[in-house]
Amino acid sequence: MPSSKSSATPLALWLGLASVVILLDQFTKVLVMGDFRLHDSRTVTSFFNLVRAHNTGAAFSFLADAAGWQRWFFVGLGVFASVFIVWMLRTHPTQKLFCFAVTMILGGALGNVIDRLLHGYVVDFLQFHWSWLAPMFPGGYFPAFNLADSAITLGAICLVIDELRRVRRS
Protein backbone atom coordinates (compact mmCIF):
# COMPACT_ATOMS: atom_id res chain seq x y z
CA MET A 1 0.00 0.00 0.00
CA PRO A 2 1.69 3.25 -1.11
CA SER A 3 2.25 5.97 1.46
CA SER A 4 1.22 9.55 0.87
CA LYS A 5 3.85 12.15 0.00
CA SER A 6 3.15 13.91 3.31
CA SER A 7 4.55 10.93 5.25
CA ALA A 8 7.91 11.25 3.49
CA THR A 9 10.89 12.18 5.65
CA PRO A 10 12.83 15.05 4.06
CA LEU A 11 16.19 14.16 2.51
CA ALA A 12 17.86 16.77 4.70
CA LEU A 13 16.94 14.81 7.84
CA TRP A 14 18.49 11.61 6.48
CA LEU A 15 21.63 13.47 5.42
CA GLY A 16 21.74 15.10 8.86
CA LEU A 17 21.58 11.69 10.52
CA ALA A 18 24.37 10.42 8.26
CA SER A 19 26.39 13.50 9.27
CA VAL A 20 25.89 12.67 12.95
CA VAL A 21 27.23 9.15 12.29
CA ILE A 22 30.25 10.61 10.49
CA LEU A 23 30.94 13.13 13.27
CA LEU A 24 30.66 10.53 16.06
CA ASP A 25 32.85 8.13 14.11
CA GLN A 26 35.54 10.72 13.44
CA PHE A 27 35.40 12.06 17.01
CA THR A 28 35.97 8.61 18.50
CA LYS A 29 38.83 7.95 16.09
CA VAL A 30 40.49 11.25 17.04
CA LEU A 31 40.24 10.25 20.72
CA VAL A 32 41.79 6.85 20.04
CA MET A 33 44.58 8.28 17.89
CA GLY A 34 45.35 10.83 20.60
CA ASP A 35 45.45 8.34 23.48
CA PHE A 36 46.79 5.15 21.85
CA ARG A 37 49.82 4.25 19.83
CA LEU A 38 49.45 1.67 17.09
CA HIS A 39 48.75 -1.80 18.62
CA ASP A 40 48.13 -0.40 22.13
CA SER A 41 45.34 -2.20 23.99
CA ARG A 42 43.40 -1.47 27.18
CA THR A 43 41.22 -4.08 28.82
CA VAL A 44 37.74 -2.75 29.59
CA THR A 45 35.94 -5.99 30.48
CA SER A 46 36.76 -9.69 30.34
CA PHE A 47 35.51 -9.76 26.74
CA PHE A 48 36.15 -6.22 25.44
CA ASN A 49 39.26 -4.13 24.80
CA LEU A 50 39.93 -0.72 23.36
CA VAL A 51 42.77 -0.99 20.88
CA ARG A 52 44.35 0.99 18.07
CA ALA A 53 44.57 -0.85 14.80
CA HIS A 54 45.02 0.34 11.23
CA ASN A 55 43.28 -1.45 8.38
CA THR A 56 44.38 -0.70 4.83
CA GLY A 57 41.92 -3.27 3.54
CA ALA A 58 38.18 -3.74 3.85
CA ALA A 59 36.18 -5.90 6.27
CA PHE A 60 38.32 -8.56 7.96
CA SER A 61 41.40 -6.91 6.35
CA PHE A 62 40.35 -8.03 2.86
CA LEU A 63 43.04 -6.77 0.42
CA ALA A 64 45.08 -5.27 3.28
CA ASP A 65 48.27 -6.72 1.79
CA ALA A 66 47.68 -5.30 -1.69
CA ALA A 67 50.23 -2.88 -3.12
CA GLY A 68 48.37 0.32 -2.14
CA TRP A 69 45.87 0.55 -4.99
CA GLN A 70 43.16 -0.70 -2.62
CA ARG A 71 43.12 2.68 -0.84
CA TRP A 72 41.82 4.43 -3.95
CA PHE A 73 39.62 1.51 -4.95
CA PHE A 74 37.82 1.64 -1.57
CA VAL A 75 37.60 5.46 -1.69
CA GLY A 76 36.03 5.26 -5.15
CA LEU A 77 33.70 2.47 -4.07
CA GLY A 78 32.62 4.48 -1.01
CA VAL A 79 31.98 7.61 -3.06
CA PHE A 80 30.04 5.66 -5.71
CA ALA A 81 27.96 3.90 -3.03
CA SER A 82 27.27 7.25 -1.33
CA VAL A 83 25.98 8.84 -4.53
CA PHE A 84 23.80 5.78 -5.17
CA ILE A 85 22.46 5.88 -1.59
CA VAL A 86 21.53 9.57 -1.87
CA TRP A 87 19.68 8.75 -5.09
CA MET A 88 17.83 5.92 -3.29
CA LEU A 89 16.93 8.25 -0.42
CA ARG A 90 15.46 10.70 -2.94
CA THR A 91 13.49 8.03 -4.81
CA HIS A 92 12.09 6.16 -1.75
CA PRO A 93 11.33 8.94 0.76
CA THR A 94 8.30 7.22 2.31
CA GLN A 95 10.10 3.98 3.20
CA LYS A 96 11.40 4.97 6.62
CA LEU A 97 13.15 1.75 7.67
CA PHE A 98 14.79 1.46 4.26
CA CYS A 99 15.92 5.09 4.41
CA PHE A 100 17.24 4.64 7.97
CA ALA A 101 19.16 1.54 6.84
CA VAL A 102 20.85 3.17 3.87
CA THR A 103 21.50 6.32 5.91
CA MET A 104 23.48 4.25 8.43
CA ILE A 105 25.41 2.67 5.56
CA LEU A 106 26.03 6.11 4.06
CA GLY A 107 27.36 7.57 7.31
CA GLY A 108 29.56 4.56 7.96
CA ALA A 109 30.91 4.40 4.43
CA LEU A 110 31.82 8.09 4.41
CA GLY A 111 33.38 7.84 7.87
CA ASN A 112 35.75 5.18 6.58
CA VAL A 113 36.35 7.06 3.29
CA ILE A 114 37.49 10.07 5.34
CA ASP A 115 40.01 7.84 7.16
CA ARG A 116 41.37 6.49 3.89
CA LEU A 117 41.75 9.99 2.48
CA LEU A 118 43.39 11.42 5.62
CA HIS A 119 45.54 8.50 6.73
CA GLY A 120 45.62 5.86 3.99
CA TYR A 121 43.97 3.37 6.35
CA VAL A 122 40.88 2.99 8.54
CA VAL A 123 41.31 3.39 12.30
CA ASP A 124 39.72 0.53 14.26
CA PHE A 125 39.46 0.42 18.04
CA LEU A 126 36.65 -1.84 19.31
CA GLN A 127 37.80 -5.39 20.02
CA PHE A 128 35.66 -8.22 21.39
CA HIS A 129 36.96 -11.64 22.34
CA TRP A 130 35.28 -14.83 23.48
CA SER A 131 36.69 -18.34 23.64
CA TRP A 132 33.87 -19.67 21.43
CA LEU A 133 35.24 -17.49 18.59
CA ALA A 134 38.61 -19.29 18.71
CA PRO A 135 37.76 -21.76 15.90
CA MET A 136 37.16 -18.81 13.57
CA PHE A 137 39.55 -16.13 14.89
CA PRO A 138 42.98 -16.54 16.51
CA GLY A 139 42.64 -16.57 20.29
CA GLY A 140 38.91 -15.84 19.97
CA TYR A 141 39.59 -12.19 19.09
CA PHE A 142 37.08 -10.80 16.61
CA PRO A 143 38.84 -8.30 14.28
CA ALA A 144 38.83 -4.76 15.64
CA PHE A 145 36.26 -2.39 14.15
CA ASN A 146 34.91 1.15 14.63
CA LEU A 147 31.65 3.10 14.85
CA ALA A 148 31.46 3.47 11.06
CA ASP A 149 31.61 -0.31 10.71
CA SER A 150 28.92 -0.62 13.40
CA ALA A 151 26.67 1.80 11.51
CA ILE A 152 27.18 -0.15 8.28
CA THR A 153 26.32 -3.40 10.09
CA LEU A 154 23.21 -1.84 11.68
CA GLY A 155 22.17 -0.59 8.25
CA ALA A 156 22.64 -4.02 6.68
CA ILE A 157 20.57 -5.66 9.45
CA CYS A 158 17.81 -3.08 8.96
CA LEU A 159 17.85 -3.71 5.19
CA VAL A 160 17.28 -7.41 5.82
CA ILE A 161 14.45 -6.66 8.27
CA ASP A 162 12.92 -4.21 5.81
CA GLU A 163 13.01 -6.79 3.03
CA LEU A 164 11.54 -9.51 5.27
CA ARG A 165 8.69 -7.14 6.20
CA ARG A 166 8.13 -6.29 2.54
CA VAL A 167 8.01 -9.99 1.58
CA ARG A 168 5.62 -10.75 4.46
CA ARG A 169 3.24 -7.96 3.31
CA SER A 170 3.10 -9.24 -0.28
Q: Pick the closest to residue 106 from 83, 76, 74 (CA basis).
A: 83
128 φ, ψ (degrees, to nearest 5): -110, 150
* Measured distance CA(131)–CA(116) in Å, rounded: 32
Sheet holding 122-128, edge to edge: 41-45, 48-55, 122-128
Catalytic residue among 35, 65, 115, 149: 149
* Measured distance CA(115)–CA(149) in Å, rounded: 12
Is 124 a known active-site residue?
A: yes
H-type alpha helices, the chain: 11-35, 69-91, 96-119, 147-169
Length of the chain: 170
DSSP H/E element including 125: strand 122-128
Is 40 a known active-site residue?
A: no
Give the burial class of 107: count Cβ atoms within 10 A of its Cβ; 0-12 exposed, 13-18 middle, 19 or more buried: buried
Q: State the catalytic residues.
A: 124, 149
